[in-house]
Each structure stands twice: as C-alpha cells, then as structure tokens.
Amino acid sequence: MVTLGTIRGDGWPRVSPCEAYIVEGDLLLGMMWRSKKALDLLRDPRITVTTVQADREATYGDLKLYGFAVDVPDEARRQAYADTLFAAIDWRPSEPFHLFSLDIARAGFISFGKNQKLMRWAPESGVEVMRHPDAAKDEA
C-alpha cells in the first residue's frame, strides 16, 4: 500500500491510498474505473508516491517517488498486472480499470534508528547519500 499525491482539477492536492505492484520491472498502479485519482492523472500526470508508515520510528524507511503517471493500454501488460494481483491477493480486476506505470523523475529515502540513511536520486546526479538530520544529535 502506498499513498498517492495527485492534482485535482481545481489545483488543490488530492491524497489517496493505492496498491502498488512491481510487474516486469515497472511500478504499476491500478485504479477503479473513473476514480477521482485516475481522472486527476489523465488530466495532469504529475504524481507523488510515498510509502505508508505504521511504525513511529520509521525503522524500514520512508520512500518518496516523484514523477509522471503513464497510462498502460497494452493488453499483455494489463494481463501481467492482473496475474500479479491474483498471485498476491487472490483477486483480479475486471475491465474496465485504469492502470498507470510510474515514470520516476526523482526519489528520496530516509530511515531512522540504528540504520539511519538519507538518500536522494535524480537522473542528472544519480544516487546521493546525504548527511542524516539526526547525525548532529548523535555527535553531540
């Protein structure tokens, strides 16, 4: 489960939950036909995807992806997505449904606790490991 940030028609942000699956190397996001978040993405493909945190300490990290949603009309890719869902949760979507792949423009990751990490990625600069904001507290 991830949280999506899309842009509503009136320009305000919309935050929505969504299941995300990696299928044949692509991060795919399936949505109910004509859902508000899908209509947002068809109008304006800019999207933010972030992991859902249930652990107050964020031990496993917090990933944020920024990019563009790309409509997936290809039947073979749609079938591969449906097969992946069926294998994972014993359910498959029936047509019509919206399916988007994520064209990642940049990313960020932070984790806390014993395994503190702070990283970002962009195509121009690649992966950058940065100084964690808690490092100053640990050094004091």
Where in the chain are the domains?
2-109
CATH code: domain 2-109 is 2.30.110.10
What 3-state DSSP class applies to 89? helix
Contact 33, 98 (CB under 8 A): yes
pLDDT at residue 134, rounded to an integer: 85
pLDDT at residue 81, rounded to an integer: 98
Task: Compute the distance between CA of residue 38 and CA of residue 99 in angstroms, rounded to an integer.
Answer: 9
Q: Could you give phi then psi for residue 37, rounded to 5 degrees? A: -65, -35
pLDDT at residue 137, rounded to an integer: 67
The list of the chain residues with pLDDT below 50 reads none
Task: Compute the distance between CA of residue 138 and CA of residue 135 in angstroms, rounded to an integer.
Answer: 5
pLDDT at residue 55, rounded to an integer: 77
pLDDT at residue 138, rounded to an integer: 59
